């Protein structure tokens, strides 16, 4: 029996989704329309068939992507991305993109109170797929003995010879810029979760400033809220101007 065109396209997309890494973004509907020589209506019908099989999903800003369970990260304790990823049974890796001693941006200089920092930008991978872009700044004095290889193999928390007290973490929604989109393999302007963290030593002085960019379709932050006074408002809520 002759297959209807959208069913033929759906069969091809099923094969691609089966062989592609979880969370990877598919070409846009417009691109697939050109590739298959079919209308957008036909492409959408094919995609919906594959979605009904649970192989792909769609989200505003990303388009279609290979279905995946978001990596959950707990906010209840100071932990590394690696430990969170490994905690859900995924292989964690890191790839350093930039390693430089330089003058920090004004915000980082104000927090750390120094004129020179070590800046490291890396990509964290979960099961071989880009999961986060992380930029870390630490005072040049603390990072003087570190090498590119050191920070690619171990987190700063293990490398710095100081006792840490804790961190303040702020998470907000944003749209990804071109450089980070390239590293994460997602469309420019797609939604991300941007986490800014300031880590302090045992005296309460900031020693690390970091920025974490997570693709929104692959990440969930989880926190258990203890019972307190009756309220429907999340603690720490702040209106962004």
Digit-coded pLDDT (tens) for 147-206: 999 999 988 988 988 898 999 999 999 999 999 999 998 888 889 999 999 999 999 999
pLDDT digits (tens, 9 = 90+) for 7-44: 999 999 999 999 988 888 899 999 999 999 999 999 99
Sorted by sequence, the CB contacts under 8 Å of residue 96 that are 6+ apart come out as: 120, 121, 122, 148, 151, 152
Sorted by sequence, the CB contacts under 8 Å of residue 114 that are 6+ apart come out as: 104, 139, 140, 141
| Residue located via tokens 């630490």 | 138
Q: Which two tokens stand for residue 151?
A: 């920070």
Residues spanned by CATH 1.10.10.10 within the chain?
A: 5-66
Q: Is the dihedral of CA 34, 36, 37, 39 positive or negative?
A: negative
- Compute the distance between CA of residue 90 and CA of residue 73 in angstroms, rounded to an integer: 13
Fold observed for domain 5-66: Arc Repressor Mutant, subunit A (1.10.10)
Q: How many CB atoms lie within 10 A of CB 32?
A: 22
Residues 164, 201: contact at Cβ < 8 Å? yes
**pTM (two decimals):** 0.78
Q: Classify 71-222 by CATH class.
A: alpha beta
Q: How many CB atoms lie within 10 A of CB 53?
A: 13
Q: Which of 6-15, 54-63, 70-79 has the lowest mean pLDDT?
A: 70-79
Q: What is the mean pLDDT of residues 68-80?
A: 74
Q: Please name which of 149, 218, 227 lies closest in space to residue 185, comparing C-alpha atoms.
A: 218
Q: Does the pLDDT of residue 77 top 80, yes or no?
A: no
- At residue 126, the pLDDT reads 85
Q: Which two tokens stand for residue 193?
A: 């979760």
How far CA 217 is from CA of 23, 63, 152, 238, in Å, comes to: 8, 10, 25, 23
Residues spanned by CATH 3.40.1410.10 within the chain?
A: 71-222
| Residue located via tokens 């691609």 | 16
């Amino acid at each position: 029996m002759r297959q209807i065109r959208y069913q033929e396209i759906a069969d091809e997309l099923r094969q691609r989704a089966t062989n592609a890494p979880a969370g990877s973004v598919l070409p846009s509907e417009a691109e697939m329309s050109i590739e298959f020589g079919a209308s957008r209506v036909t492409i959408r019908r094919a995609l919906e068939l594959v979605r009904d099989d649970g192989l792909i999903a769609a989200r505003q800003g990303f388009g279609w992507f290979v279905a995946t369970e978001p990596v959950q990260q707990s906010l209840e304790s100071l932990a590394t991305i690696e430990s969170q990823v490994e905690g859900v049974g995924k292989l964690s890796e890191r790839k350093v993109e930039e390693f430089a001693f330089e003058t920090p941006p004004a915000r980082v200089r104000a927090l750390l109170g120094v004129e020179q920092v070590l800046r490291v930008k890396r990509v964290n991978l979960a099961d071989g797929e880009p999961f986060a872009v992380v930029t870390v700044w630490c005072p040049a004095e603390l990072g003087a003995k570190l090498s590119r290889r050191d920070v690619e193999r171990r987190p700063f928390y293990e490398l710095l010879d100081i006792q840490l007290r804790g961190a303040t973490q702020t998470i907000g929604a944003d749209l990804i810029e071109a450089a980070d989109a390239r590293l994460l393999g997602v469309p420019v302007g797609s939604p991300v979760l941007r986490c800014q963290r300031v880590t302090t030593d045992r005296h309460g002085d900031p020693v690390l400033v970091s920025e974490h960019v997570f693709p929104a379709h692959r990440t969930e932050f989880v926190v258990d809220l203890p019972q307190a006074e009756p309220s429907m408002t999340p603690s720490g809520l702040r209106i962004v101007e």
